[in-house]
Structure 1
Amino acid sequence: MLVQTKSSIIIVAIVAVLGLLVYFSYQPILSSINLGLDLRGGLRVVLQAQENEGEKVTEDTIQKALGILRERVDSLGVKETTLYPQGDDRVVIEIAGEDDPEAAVNILKNTAQLEFWDENGNVLLTGKNLKDAQARVRSDNQQGEVTLSFDSEGAKLFAEATTANVGKPLLIVIDEEVISAPTVRVPITDGNAVIEGQFTAKEANDLAVLLRSGALPVSLEVMEKRSIGPTLGSESLEKSIKAGIVGVIAVLFFMIGFYRLPGLIADISLILYAVLVLGTMSLLGSVLTLPGIAGFALSIGMAVDANVIIYERIKEELRLGKTLRAAIDAGFKRAFWTIFDANLTTLITAIVLMYFGTGPIKGFAVTLSIGIVASMLVALIFTRYLLLLSANLSDNKKLYGV
């Protein structure tokens, strides 16, 4: 009697804590999960690398370009941006949730090749010797400007350039566009320079980011541009949520109807499973896409499948005449390797997709991987514990579908 009372109290406490966890974490988790382009709306742009004379576009070139673009994204603070290569010479940029995504793409794809010319158009110094670039606002006219500092080699070249052009204009050129052409009054030997122009504070900051991240190794041209409105994205999300709710409710009723008490425990476990998966995605900053929702739904099916395997093993043991606790222990032992092998093979596939896949495929693989790990932990630890507690309440085999 004491054991029954204690088990009942523990089960009620677990259910209550789980209920409170869902109640207090539901909104924070959903509000912090980043929605992808297909759910939130935004812009998808495919950029193609253009070969320069004598310079062939290679995989290494595209990887370098991606690295520079990612650094620009981080520095500019562009929201929910996904970058990945496509084929041998293309880069895909997906921006969700940005107020002006086209402007963001235009800034990101700029080559940002900095050069200093003399009045005859001869290149005296390039951005490869640039050490740092910072934006600031002038106090006299509130216009933005960019301060430059060069490495030792750049400082030497800049000193030579200014010494040779005293009293002459020194053209500051970015992507073959003259930004300013100040007249050199005295030689500058400290390796510092300032780019002045009709810049706003934001324009100066954007320019400093581009210069600081370095020039792209190739020029990028827009090959495809597709805009997804927020209305279409919200409709996709709404339909996905409705389909998910209907599917989950159907699974919950099936488990209770077919497996009875273990089915109810499986339903409780699924609630914990959903919180774990969505909470992990929120903590990792994962982007949820339509394929990601599909991965989540698939992992729910795998979580239920693990419970089905366990419960069928338990029923077999009960039919052999074992006691309830012995049947539960034996059922889990017999089901463990089946569940482990099935989940491991799926996890390996998901990891391969995560590593080699891009965009939506990667989102599907990430969600599926998180779901697989969570389903194994919940089924083999949480569900087992609840079953053993429930075995203390009643040994009626009919409650277990036998």
Structure 2
Amino acid sequence: MSFKDRAIQVLMASCGVNLCIGILYAWSVFKNALVVEHGWSNSQASFPYTVSIVVLSLAVLGAGFVQDKIGPRKVLMTGSLLAGGGLLLSSISLSPLVLTVTFGVLTGCGIGFAYACLNPVVMKWFHSSQKGLVNGLIATAFGIASIYLAPLVSYLIAQYGISQSFFVLGCMLLLIAFPLACTIDNPPENYIAKLPKNKTTNLTHQNSTVDKFTETPWNEMVKKREFYILWLMYAFSSAAGLMVIANITSIAAVQADITDGAYLVVALALFNSGGRLATGILSDKLGGVRTLTLAFALQGVNMLLFASYDNSVLLIIGAGVAGIGYGALLAVFPSIMASFYGLKNYGANYGVLYTAWGSGGFIGPVLAAIAVDMTGSYHIAYQICAALMAITVCLALWLQPIRLGIIKSVLKEKHE
């Protein structure tokens, strides 16, 4: 098998793993069934998911350090076993404590372990000018999971019940994700990805130069001011996106008196998935920071207008824009981290940055809950999120001169 074929194989296997571990997106279906069929409170039914988000973020951080040292294969295999095993154990007893441990801790940890490895291993197989494309494809696969898993889980629960649904999903994950994980590994140490045809722009030259000469360990990365700019950008933009994602059906009920807003979830998922691929490809042409600047500005305008979305058409548009803005984060930030700090220590570096996503996952939904409890509407939450997006645009504009400074310093170092 040629290196080119092997690179494509690793990319496809990584996308397959992400399609499996996207099971987190199906929790809303389980939550509804637990409340309706088993009498759980909303707080009880939400807690396993909340725990899984926190554990996932911490697992990405830990797994990033480990995979940089021992490679991705063993970490991916462990993650697949933990995620599938957690689902299997969830089928044993439907109690808040058990599901918090099995789904929240075990499955959340497994998803984090697997998720942490895929971007760095795939980027090592492809030329730096294709970072956006491959990251966009991997992120899209994770997003597409929400499109097929929600109806699949609904069908399984209707046919077999909640416990058997956990069991079936656990078996499916183990039978598909684990074998795929066994095929994924880093390229040989002396491997150099070839420049694709028609990839000779200055931007490509700059990106590849920075990737080659800027290999920064995490303890040096956290001393640099641009890292904290990136962290704040990731946290604030995640908060805005996740605020809408977590509440879109409730928003539809409050603003447009729509009692069945499931189609909005599908619309958001479709735009979220498509936005990941589109912005990933766009970042290869414009650069990561510029692409994020456009995404932040679009999301900020959307937040300013969201309170006026009072019918199905406008809500679909709003959900779609929110999905695109959020999807851009997961497709473009990995490329930016590779460009700024290299691939040698990427797992640990991105793991540290990913704590911003966990913070945003807490800020956004909590902000929405407080706003609607206090005022009966989400208007304040929209306004705060719009302000946060304005800050991210300013941070992104501030970051671009810093980025150019890094490129110039690296080019100077190369010539010297």
Structure 1 length normalisation: TM-score? 0.25
Higher Cα Rg: structure 1 or 2? Answer: 1
Which gives a bigger RCO, structure 1 or 2 (Cα 8 Å, sep 6+)? 2
Q: Indicate the structure with greater strand content.
A: 1
Structure 2 length normalisation: TM-score? 0.24
Q: Indicate the structure with greater helix content.
A: 2
